[in-house]
Amino acid sequence: LSKRYQNMAKHLAESRSDDVFQLYANAVTSVYDPHTNYFSPRTGEDFDINMSLSLEGIGAQLTLEDEVITIKELIAGGPAKQSGKLARNDKILAVAQGQTGAMEDVVGWRLDDAVRLIRGKRGTTVRLRIEKAINDEVVDVVLVRDKIKLEESAAKSEIKGIEKDGKVYRIGIIDLPSFYIDFDAANRGEKNYRSTTRDVKRLIQQLEKDGIDGLMIDLRDNGGGSLAEAVDLTGLFFDKGPVVQVRRAGGEVTVHADDDNETIYDGPLAVLINQNSASASEIFAGAIKDYGRGVILGEPTFGKGTVQTVIDLARFLPSVKDSVGQLKMTIAMFYRVNGSSTQLKGVTPNIYIPNENSYLPGGESEEDHALPWHKIKGKKHQQFNQVTALLPTLQRDYEQDNANNPLMQTLLAMTAWQKQQSEDTIVPLSLKKRHERRDAIRDKSLRFQNAFRKFYGYPQLTADYWEKKDKDKTDAEIDADEQYEVDPILSIATTTAADYVRLLQQPHAIARQ
């Protein structure tokens, strides 16, 4: 506890004027709405990196441990990983620029200061003085910076087979963490610039080559991103038509539509959402639902129906040479093609699948000064009628599938237990009782994890799991953990998607009910 307070005091003492101004400016902007923010020059740089999924540097995720910059993760394809000379938990003691620059000691530095010393333009050289985690040996490593693609935040795909009535349905799943685009590369005219729509299009084409019966887009925890990418991505699933309406403060409405007359995928489609699916995710899910193009699974979305633009403040201060930061400002509200805003209300699923954190309050409605819900006139759009008629049967099949499903029953039991824990606000002052309570919670959590692992056929976790969990792990141990990752909600949703495909392939199933 003493060390925690010392770190808090040190962090406060290291605050600079731009940190303080950003804090003050955001206290002012948040009064108008929760999504208007000031970005200091450094925060703005990080925002641009997250949007483009690329940066120029060595390809390492860094953290601060006991005043020392430590390598947390090496990014595949980056110079650090490819050199073979660096590993997780290695410590960076000093940094030098070029082949001859003097080493600059970075022990005790703020993490963001050290990161900016290590980052640099593609093709330039940086030298790192490293204390190896494996044997404490100190070595100098020379790296040439390169463009790093943040693949962990990019769209990725897999195929899961679900057996129904003696037939295996192959469901292609695309996990989409955000709606990203490399604006700089696009503006430079680069032919292969990175974007959500381009990546998803490529993944769909590969999935169809591999053979799928249906497709599910996983938008859980996707907080949004580029509005244009949300529109373009929606256009992959029908020929043309309006996707979203944007109404500015003056009342003028702009319709963003897909008009390329091209459909990349016309097969059975499901979209998986949760409470953290926001903004651009809600545009996509709302349009798919309004068109009847696919079935929406999960829980109601976040409810962020506002549009922001990022303004470089240097344009207003041409005489200032240094960057003065950016302003992310709310300028409009977006509406579904049916005329309803997603603000506060979000997008509701066709089939509700509980989330392990469903009991927690959240969403736009919990934000201070959130703008109110609003509705405008809808836009005429195509109706595919692929969902509505099937919903009663699909809901019945979903309930039958999960009535005695050990995966669903464990999920519901765990959620109820977590809710009970969150409501227990009494904290024992006795250290012995605190330890007993912690051990009881860990034991119960381990039981739930092993129940999930039993369903998947994974090895059971042993009683020393928590001790091992807190220790530094090798790459091989981390890979083994990822191999046994459990995702009960995805499994339940994939089964429901397979039911949906089965019903679409049996057009007389409803008539027999």
Q: What residue ranges define each of the domains in the chain, with the CATH number in brackets?
A: 1-28 (no CATH), 56-149 (2.30.42.10), 151-389 (3.90.226.10)
pLDDT band for 508, please (50, 70, 90 cuts): low
Q: Quick one: which H or E segment has residue 489?
A: helix 488-505
| Under 8 Å between Cβ of 323 and 350 | no
Helix (H, G, I), strand (E, B) or coil at 80: helix
Whether the CB-CB separation of 290 and 316 falls below 8 Å is answered with: no
Check residue 44 and give its pLDDT.
Answer: 77
Q: pLDDT at position 11, please?
A: 73
Q: The dihedral of CA 90, 91, 97, 100: what is its sign?
A: negative
- Flag whether pLDDT at 54 surpasses 70: no
Q: Using an 8 Å Cβ cutoff, are 95 and 117 in contact?
A: yes
Q: Is the pLDDT of residue 36 over 60?
A: yes
Q: What does the pLDDT read at residue 443?
A: 93
pLDDT attached to residue 96: 94
Q: What is the pLDDT of residue 49?
A: 61
For residue 511, what pLDDT is reported?
39
Active site residues: 279, 290, 304
CA dist 91 and 72 (Å) reads: 10
- Range in 35-49, 84-98, 158-172, 343-357 the model is least confident about: 35-49
Which pLDDT belongs to residue 50?
Answer: 63
Read off the pLDDT band of 377 (50, 70, 90). Answer: very high
pLDDT tens by residue, 448-474? 999 999 999 999 988 887 777 655 555
- Which pLDDT belongs to residue 509? 46
Alpha-carbon 485 to chain mean position: 17
Mean residue pLDDT across the chain: 89
Residue 46 above 80 pLDDT? no
Token digits of residue 238 = 């029908």
d(CA 92, CA 68): 7
Work out the pLDDT band at 339, boundaries 50, 70, 90.
very high
CA gap 439, 144 in Å, rounded? 48
Span of 18-22, 170-174, 281-285 with lowest mean pLDDT: 18-22
Q: How confident is the model at residue 187 (pLDDT cuts 50, 70, 90)?
A: confident
**277: its two tokens:** 């699916």
What pLDDT digit, counting tens, does each position of 206-242 carry? Answer: 999 999 999 999 999 999 989 999 999 999 999 999 9
> For residue range 120-138, what is the model confidence (pLDDT) as tens digits?
888 999 999 999 987 788 9
Give the C-alpha separation, 29 to 34, whole Å: 8
Q: Collect contacts of 404-408 with beta carbons under 8 A, ≥24 apart.
A: 405/492, 406/451, 406/454, 406/455, 407/452, 407/455, 407/488, 407/491, 407/492, 408/488, 408/492
Burial of 361 (0-12, 13-18, 19+ CB in 10 A): exposed
Give the residue among 216, 267, 156, 302 at the shortest CA–CA distance from 495.
216
Grouping H, G, I as helix, E, B as strand and the rest as coil, residue 253 is strand
CA distance 256 to 307: 13
d(CA 55, CA 50): 9
513 has a pLDDT exceeding 60: no
Q: What is the pLDDT of residue 512?
A: 36
Q: What mean pLDDT do residues 299-325 have?
A: 87
3-state SS record for 403-428: HCCHHHHHHHHHHHHHHHHHHCCCCC
Which of the pair, 47 or 244, is modelled with greater confidence?
244
Are 475 and 362 in contact by the 8 Å Cβ rule? The answer is no
Q: Where on the phi/psi map is residue 407: left (φ > 0), alpha (ψ -120 to 50), or beta? A: alpha
Report the distance separating Cα 163 and Cα 213, nearest Å. 12
Burial grade of 426 (CB within 10 A; 0-12, 13-18, 19 or more): exposed
Contacts of 272 (CB under 8 A, 6+ apart): 216, 217, 218, 219, 220, 297, 298, 353, 489, 490, 493
pLDDT at 166: 92
Read off the tokens for 105: 């000691």
What is residue 67's predicted lDDT score, i.e. its pLDDT? 83
* Structure-token pair, residue 194: 């990175």
pLDDT value for 27: 93
DSSP character for 375? B
Alpha carbon distance 306, 328 (integer Å)? 12
Is 497 buried (19+), middle (13-18) or exposed (0-12) by CB count in 10 A? buried
Q: Taking residues 387-413, what's their average pLDDT? A: 95
CA dihedral angle for residue 163, residue 166, residue 172, residue 175, rounded to 10 degrees: -10
Q: By percentage, how much of the chain surpasses pLDDT 70? A: 93
Cα–Cα distances (Å) from 340 to 246, 291, 310, 351, 377, in that order, read 11, 14, 25, 20, 8
What are the structure tokens assigned to 41, written together?
């020059």
Q: What average pLDDT does this structure show over 479-508?
A: 88
Question: Cα separations (Å) of 158 from 2, 56, 76, 223, 452?
Answer: 46, 29, 19, 22, 20
Q: Is the pLDDT of residue 76 over 80?
A: no
Other C-beta atoms closer than 10 Å to the C-beta of 237 total 24
Top-confidence range, 120-124, 135-139, 271-275, 482-486: 271-275
Q: Contact at 8 Å (CB) between 341 and 289?
A: no
Burial class (CB in 10 A: 0-12, 13-18, 19+), 130: buried
Structure pTM? 0.83
pLDDT at 507: 64
3-state secondary structure of 298: strand
- Residue 456 neighbours by CB under 8 Å, 6+ apart: 484, 486
Share of the chain above pLDDT 90, in %: 59
